[in-house]
Structure 1
Amino acid sequence: MEPIKNTLLLFSKLPEVGLVKTRLTVLKDGMFAPETAAVLYQAMLLDVADVILAAFDKLEARYPGEVFELVISTAPAKNLEAMGALFAEAGFEDERLRFATDAGASFDEHYNDAFAQCFAAGTDLILSMGADMPALTEGDVIRGFDALHELRDAERGGIVLAPDQEMGVSIIGWTRETDFDHTGVFYNPYGLTVLPAYIEKAQSLGLPARYLPPVPDVDTMADLRHNITLVQALRYCAPFDGTMPPRRTAQMLKDMGCDQVRVSPNNLIDPRSIIDG
Structure 2
Amino acid sequence: MDDKLLPENAKPFLRWAGGKRRLVPFLVKHIPPDFSNNNRYYEPFLGAGSLFFRLKPFKAALSDNNQDLIECYRAIQKRPDLIAKYLRQHLLNNCENYYYNMRKRYNKSPLSIAKAALFIYLNRTCFNGIWRVNESGEFNVPYGRIEIPPLPSKEDLLNVSQTLTKATIIHSDYKQVVKHVSEGDFIYFDPPYPPLNGTSFFTHYTKERFNKKDHAELASLVNMLNKKGCYIMVSNADTPYIRGLYGDTFNIYELEVVRWIRTDGKRYKVQEIVITNYEV
TM-score calculated relative to the size of structure 2: 0.31
TM-score calculated relative to the size of structure 1: 0.32
Max Rg structure: 1
